[in-house]
């Protein structure tokens, strides 16, 4: 549906248990199902979240797209955050980056 933003709210592994599949490479490119995924950049904005830029190529069609992934890092295991401030800051960052886009944000 034209998604250009992904918000992840969980770490990849919590207390030794996989919580989410890692579908992007540490560096360079990888293939995940029908997509070639290239890690363009990864920036730690604060201790609570980081932002990755991913360049995707749908292999069957050749269609390409750049997607920004916002990865929230400080959600406590089996609890809610003690304060909403980091989540509100993340929301502001996502809103600022995608203001005016007419595509969904995948959470």
Q: What confidence tens digit (pLDDT) does each residue in 6-48 have?
A: 999 988 888 888 888 898 999 999 999 999 999 999 999 888 8
Interval 53-94: pLDDT, tens: 999 999 999 999 999 999 998 887 778 887 888 888 888 888
Tokens of 88: 């509100």
Q: Kindly tell me if the per-residue pLDDT of 100 is higher than 80.
A: no
Give the chain's domain count: 1
Quick one: 4 exposed, middle or buried, by C-beta within 10 A (0-12, 13-18, 19+)?
A: middle
pLDDT for the residue numbered 79: 80
pLDDT for the residue numbered 1: 67
pLDDT for the residue numbered 74: 82
CATH number at residue 27: 3.90.190.10
Range of the domain at 57: 5-106
pTM of the predicted protein model: 0.85
Q: Would you give the DSSP letter of residue 87?
A: H
According to DSSP, the β-strands at 105-106 and 29-32 are unpaired
């Amino acid at each position: 549906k034209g998604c250009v933003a992904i918000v992840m709210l969980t770490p990849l592994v919590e207390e030794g248990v996989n919580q989410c599949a890692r579908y992007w490479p540490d560096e360079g490119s990888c293939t995940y199902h029908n997509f070639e995924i290239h890690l363009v950049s990864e920036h730690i904005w604060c201790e609570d979240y980081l932002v990755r830029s991913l360049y995707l190529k749908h292999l069957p069609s050749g269609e390409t797209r750049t997607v920004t992934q916002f990865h929230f890092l400080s959600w406590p295991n089996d609890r809610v955050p003690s304060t909403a401030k980091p989540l509100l800051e993340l929301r502001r960052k996502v809103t600022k980056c995608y203001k005016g886009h007419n595509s969904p944000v995948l959470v």
